Structure 1
Amino acid sequence: MIKITYFGHSTFLFTIKDKTVLVDPFIQPNELADQIDVTSINPDYILVSHGHEDHVADVETIAKQSNAMLVSNFEIISWFEKKGIEKVHPMNHGGSKSFDFGTIKYVNAVHSSTLPDGSSGGNPGGFVVQSEEGTFYFAGDTALTYDMKLIGEEFDIDFAVLPIGDNFTMGIRDALKAADFVGTEKIIGMHYDTFPYIQIDKESALAAASSAGKELLLLTIGKSITLGKK
């Protein structure tokens, strides 16, 4: 089983066996996550999907205090290396790499990716994380794309972490199609409510998911759930 702890926006900590994997840390600038103590977060790995500030704001702080392995695309890794982060692993689209908790495949996302200082963040991506405890798709910020069907063909996805805030990414309707494409009935929502542009009607989203035969999980910041293989 995989323990999933939500820190707001698109930030999740996945505990897989005895390893912890933090994704897209944006905590200190997020008023909705003001109860989270960043100094207490010490993951083994940090994954970054793309370069926007609302996905990288706490990378440097957490990477330096935890000595976590930072995994992202080549451009983002190079940018953080200049900030003194040495424990890194660069990837790019279509590539896979095995780590001591499982295997990561870096997959396409349709979005943009500029780092906080205006540098190029390369092309945005998502991650498929495959382990003995389960396999999940973390989409990052993305539009709906037919490339997601390839994920469903290659992997047996237990759950998908999908943006549902609309405006900058998919909304709930496209997220439900994305779940169909990757072949899962279980969705964890992300990238919603943090800013006015992406505030959603939660009851409407839950109803839409139910009507489509999907389970939409909207996690409480600071709380954890456990999911695993089907």
Structure 2
Amino acid sequence: MRPSARLTIAALAVLPLVGLAQGGPARAQPSKGGAATQAKGKTEITWYGHAAFVVKTPGGTVIAIDPWLSNPKAPEQGLADKLEKVDYILVSHGHFDHVGDAVAIGKRTGAKLVTNFELAQELVGAGYPKDAAGFETVGNLGGVIQAGDATVIMVPALHSSGFGDDKGQHPGGNPMGFVIKVKGGPTIYHTGDTDVTMDMKLIPERYGPVDVMLACIGGHFTMDPKGAALAASYVKAKTIVPMHFGTFPVLTGTPRELQAAVKAPTKVHVMEPGKMETL
């Protein structure tokens, strides 16, 4: 990362993620080898660029979300082969920049697939292990999935979907976001690709306030920083982490614009790709 980019992150990371769910800030420590490592009683999260995150719960459950780990902002290449353990893979919709390396990771780790029914069928057709993509974890909007010591709720996203491979284009089912309620830890909302919607107001009503919102801000294909700031107010997010920006030239929204648009008490925290932080 360029020195100027590091300075921007330092300026915008107004409240560290470490200790946030417990109400007190602390210092984040980078992980070794790129993958999150467990701290007793803590939830750990690593951003790998674009919309790709890996969450590790206090109980040791490893959840990969939209694992395009070979994206241009990834801290290194070959990460899909380096994650030592993945228990669940959450895919918000069928576009290549969100399916990413899900099939390869699923084949190698046997991670259970959490996504909508139609997309799961297409990913199985593309090689995802069938026995890891069954009714236990495949559902649709409103579905509640138990993922180790975390509960994953599939919530609406306003976007398109569709899965493409060397055989052509296939149905991608309903796009979605994920509310992840960690036992003894935070509530994390990964928006997937979406515009801001009034439906977001139902999230805190049904599932409680959001501790950490992982929000697309790039614009063009999703909501821009102003939309993301409004969405954060709808879900009563304590902290908003920007994602899905700068990967392609058309994704012009910036964390600085998000900072200008967000209203208290929500805080903006910019993560650095490959650096694990503790919730």
Q: TM-score, normalised by structure 2?
A: 0.77
CA deviation after TM superposition for structure 1 residue 83, in Å: 2.8
Evaluate the alpha carbon distance shift between residue 200 and residue 144 of structure 1 in structure 2; reply closer, same or farther with a 3 A threshold.
Answer: closer
Within 1, Cα distance between the matches of 2:121 and 2:51?
22
CA deviation after TM superposition for structure 1 residue 214, in Å: 2.5
Q: Which residue of 1 aligns with 2:178?
A: 127
1:161 aligns with 2:161: no
CA deviation after TM superposition for structure 1 residue 167, in Å: 1.0
Within 2, Cα distance between the matches of 1:97 and 1:25?
19
Within 1, Cα distance between the matches of 2:237 and 2:180?
14
Extract unaligned runs of 5+ from structure 1: none
* More off after superposition, 129-138 vs 200-209: 200-209
Q: Which residue of 2 aligns with 1:175?
A: 228
Spell out, residue by residue over 1:38-66, the C-alpha distance to the aligned partner (whole angstroms, 9 max, x if none). Answer: 21123111000000000012111111111
Spell out, residue by residue over 1:11-36, the C-alpha distance to the aligned partner (whole angstroms, 9 max, x if none). Answer: 000011211100001122x2221614
Q: Which of 3, 10, 19 lines up with 2:51 in the alignment?
A: 10
- Contact 2:239-2:266 at 8 Å conserved across structures: yes
Evaluate the alpha carbon distance shift between residue 34 and residue 223 of structure 1 in structure 2; reply closer, same or farther with a 3 A threshold.
Answer: closer
Within 2, Cα distance between the matches of 1:95 and 1:67?
22
- Contact 1:136-1:160 at 8 Å conserved across structures: yes
Within 2, Cα distance between the matches of 1:179 and 1:201?
16
Q: Which residue of 1 aligns with 2:189?
A: 137
* More off after superposition, 95-104 vs 69-78: 95-104
Rg comparison, structure with higher value = 2
Q: Which residue of 2 aligns with 1:74?
A: 117
1:21 aligns with 2:72: no
CA deviation after TM superposition for structure 1 residue 169, in Å: 0.5
Identity %: 36
Within 1, Cα distance between the matches of 2:123 and 2:256?
39
User: When you count strand as a share of all residues, which structure comes out higher?
Assistant: 1
Evaluate the alpha carbon distance shift between residue 223 and residue 120 of structure 1 in structure 2; reply closer, same or farther with a 3 A threshold.
Answer: same
CA deviation after TM superposition for structure 1 residue 127, in Å: 0.8
Q: Which residue of 2 aligns with 1:32?
A: 73
| 1:2 alignment partner AA | T
Aligned positions, number: 225
| 1:98 alignment partner AA | Q
Evaluate the alpha carbon distance shift between residue 159 and residue 202 of structure 1 in structure 2; reply closer, same or farther with a 3 A threshold.
Answer: closer
RMSD: 1.5
1:192 aligns with 2:232: no
- Contact 1:26-1:55 at 8 Å conserved across structures: yes
1:100 aligns with 2:148: yes
Within 2, Cα distance between the matches of 1:201 and 1:146?
23
